[in-house]
Amino acid sequence: MLLNPFNYHSPKTLKEACNLLDTLKNARILSGGTFLVNNLKSLKRRGLKTPDDIISLQKIPEIKGIQIKSDKIMIGAMTTLNNIAQDKNVEKHYPILRIVSENIASTQIRNMATIGGNVACRYAWTEFASCLIALEATLHFAEKKKLKEISAESFFKNNAKPEGLLTSISIPIKKDIIAIYKRVSKTPGVDLPMLTVCIKVSLKKNTLLDVRVVINDGASFSKRDVSIEKALEGSNLDENIEGKFLSNLNPETYKLDNEYKKELLRIHSKYAIQKLLVQINDNA
């Protein structure tokens, strides 16, 4: 057997899942399983303790799928990466979510892996974090007796204490937003990212507003680069945006342990800001 035995729970409603989570203190939540099942195998192989209870979210329809609710796009935690990549509302409002999804892992994994698992696992390098921070997303959690929400930005901080079950992610729909995502990996095929750069701006009368620049160095949580954001905020397109971006980028503020990685960040930041400017041009 690949896995040690556990009690398998398959709640049909969110309420049932929250009750189980409340009573079974050491239970693990299972979404797409692309991390968790591998993790359970590795614990077993190394002779370490494995959980007694697994709560699978596969049979809870209410936390799957994408909807538009007033001025927000709501993505259920159990929505798979390929569902996101193929969704019409995503394409209309935030194609960047498709771009992030379709570059993660392989086709089979994208058919299984969920956005909820990608976020809730809180690995430093998993990829939705950056664009959710850039797009000012909110994460919605449920526990037996309460509902909670937290901004993506606060969730991906070292001192954040994630609790409960992630049910959905909401992103405000705003006009005139342009967002790009640059991903760097060692090989062009299926490979984990070494670093990523995400830039979002809202463009009003040729001026960049609400700028968010989120960088992931592969070793720590995605974080906003406030110096670059400040430098770009309010800039006019006639100015040297690329120059402003690059002169305010300081690779020393990231966990990049050698010169090669620092240079990678410089080069790919340049590509990223150029890509943004091309996109602004294309949209005009």
Report what 11 binds from ligand FAD, other proteins, none; CB cut-off 5-8 Å by kind. Answer: none
- Establish if 35 lies at the interface with ligand FAD (CB under 6 A): yes
Question: Residues 227, 228, 232, CA angle at the centre, nearest 5°?
Answer: 120
Burial state string for 60-81 with b = 16 or more CB within 10 A and e = fewer than 16 = beebbebeeeeebbbbbbbbbb
Return the number of the residue (190 or 267) whose C-beta is nearest other proteins. 190
Part of the chain binding ligand FAD (CB under 6 A), chosen from 30-38, 143-151, 241-249, 275-283: 30-38
Q: Which does 77 bind (CB under 5 to 8 A by kind): ligand FAD, other proteins, none?
A: ligand FAD
Q: Which of 14, 16, 24, 37 binds other proteins (CB under 8 A)?
A: 37
Distance, in Å, from the CA atom of 196 to the CA atom of 82, rounded to the nearest integer, reads 20
Could you give the CA distance from residue 21 to residue 77 in angstroms, rounded to a whole number?
16
* Type of residue found at 208: L
Given ligand FAD, other proteins, none, residue 222, with its beta carbon under 5 to 8 Å by kind, binds none
The C-alpha atoms of residue 213 and residue 233 are separated, in whole angstroms, by: 11
Site stretch for ligand FAD (CB under 6 A), options 85-93, 113-121, 206-214, 220-228: 113-121
Strand partners, 209: 202
State yes or no: residue 104 binds ligand FAD (CB under 6 A). yes
Closest CA to 130 of 197, 230, 227, 229: 197
Say which entry of ligand FAD, other proteins, none residue 121 contacts (CB below 5 to 8 A, set by partner kind): ligand FAD
Query: What is the binding site for other proteins (CB under 8 A)?
Result: 1-8, 10, 30, 33-34, 37-38, 41, 54, 56, 58-59, 82, 102, 105-109, 111-112, 189-190
